[in-house]
Amino acid sequence: MTMLVLFHRIRHIFCICSCQCGSSDRVQQIQVKQEDTRVRTYRVISAIQPVNHIDQKQLFLMSLNFDPVFKYDRPIPFQLYKQQFSNPSDIYLHLAIKIINVVIRKHGSYEKYQGISMGQQLSRNRVKKIVKSYLQREGIDPNEIDLNLSENLISRASMSYSYGRPLLSIKMGHGTKENWLHGMLRHEIGTHYMRSLNNRWQPWSTNMSRADYQMKPCNPTEEGLAALHSILTNQHPHLFQVYCKLQP
């Protein structure tokens, strides 16, 4: 087995439990109008999570020649998934490669850079204290947002709504480190959530009114700002991950 094949197998099975959508990954939805005019909504994060990923991961770790076969409870039709996600942009990839090469020359390796830039490992209690402190600094009542800390999330962090309440979910584990957490809070709360709060007071607050103003979806621009916001105060604010996420 070549190293490239092994890399892609490892990436496939472990990304099931640790997807990064920029970091963060907010819940994405795909809406499809069916023949009977009903609209079916697919929640992407839920749809791509296999129901048997734990068993397949264990079998893979027992033998690296094992090809995992995943089963899904509510899969997205392949053609729809291909239509929505098959055209990634590489227009800024050359810049990302230049930056990562600078990072490696400066720090010796990407692993050393991660060790320096991500900060110390955090306990659950420490995560709760940092989140509470950040919300208070931003003028947000900590009781306004529910906090979900779990080892079983797909994305490292996400901001969503559960039963009408804002929910910040954070994946606990090896990657839950202090500098990363501060950047994630600036991304999810300081950008996405604060923008959504401000949006409620605007004349374009609904999809219909946005169409009246001929406004495009806010997410592409907002995601770029959130990605920048997450690293600008870091001691080592290298932009290679940001350039990988930007689109023209």
Give CA–CA dist 67/61, Å, rounded: 11
DSSP string for residues in 171-234: E-STT-BHHHHHHHHHHIIIIIIHHHHHHTTSTT-SHHHHHHTTPPPSHHHHHHHHHHHTTTTS
Q: For 19, what's the count of Cα atoms within 13 Å in the CB-facing half-sphere?
A: 15
Cβ contact 146:168 at 8 Å: yes
Please write the tens of the pLDDT for every residue from 106-130: 889 888 888 888 888 999 999 999 9
Vertex 183: Cα angle to 139 and 116 (nearest 5): 140
pLDDT digits (tens, 9 = 90+) for 80-95: 666 666 676 778 888 8
Q: What is the rounded average pLDDT of the residues 51-64?
A: 87
Q: What is the pLDDT of residues 127-171, one digit of tens each?
A: 999 999 999 999 999 999 999 999 888 788 888 888 889 999 999
Most confident of 53-67, 129-143, 157-171, 202-216: 129-143
* Bridge partners, 96 (sequence order): none
| Per-residue model confidence (pLDDT) at position 27 | 42
pLDDT of residue 171: 92
> Which one of the listed residues 178, 188, 222, 223 is annotated catalytic?
188
Give the contacts of 246 (CB within 8 A, at least 6 positions apart): 89, 91, 92, 224, 227
> Beta 155-162 vs 165-171: how paired, if at all?
antiparallel
Q: Is it the case that residue 10 has pLDDT exceeding 50?
A: no
For residue 222, indicate whether it is catalytic: no
Q: Which of 25-29, 53-57, 142-146 has the lowest mean pLDDT?
A: 25-29
Q: What residues are paired with 157 via a beta bridge?
A: 24, 170
Least confident range of 14-23, 183-192, 235-244? 14-23
What's the pLDDT at 91?
Answer: 80
pTM of the model: 0.67
CB atoms within 10 A of CB 174: 9
Residue found by looking up tokens 């949006």 in the block: 199
User: Rounded mean pLDDT of 186-212?
Assistant: 89
pLDDT beyond 60 at 229: yes
77: left (phi over 0), alpha (psi -120 to 50) or beta: beta
Of the pLDDT bands very low, low, confident and very high (cuts 50, 70, 90), residue 38 is low
In terms of Cα–Cα distance, which of 51, 53, 65 is closest to 17?
53
